[in-house]
Amino acid sequence: MTPDNMPFAEVLKRLRHAVTTASNDDVSEAGTTARKRHVERLDAMLVAAEHIEKLEEALDRIAQWTQAYPLSVFPEPDWKRARALLEASGMTLDSVSAGAMRRVVDGIAGIIAEVRPQ
């Protein structure tokens, strides 16, 4: 399994294991270049692990949103009738659909913006 097809949870588990393992390395001479690099790598791994957790939470929110409008509660409309009713009121189904999709895409963009590094 490669990181490209590995679930976030597994990547996170391996990353945390790497941090733990690296923490046990003997880099005892304070102030050495090797020790400084070692500490920088540990810090970078911890930051990456925290970011992965935030990404997974964001994906979970999006996945939860995909279940928000089940067909059992919100059955598919009669599209031809909806189009006719909207057009009789001076609106189009296309404009209503585009408005709904913008709302969905804006919501997803907001979730992404919360986790995307600046």
Amino acid at 93: L
> Which spans in 24-78 are helix H?
33-66
Q: Where are the domains of the chain?
A: 1-68, 70-118
State the pLDDT at residue 101: 95
CA distance 16 to 118: 24
Contact in structure between 51 and 117 (CB atoms under 8 Å): yes
pTM of structure = 0.65
Residue 102 has pLDDT above 80, yes or no: yes
CA distance 30 to 20: 19
Task: Give the pLDDT band (50/70/90) at residue 10.
Answer: confident
Contact in structure between 93 and 83 (CB atoms under 8 Å): yes
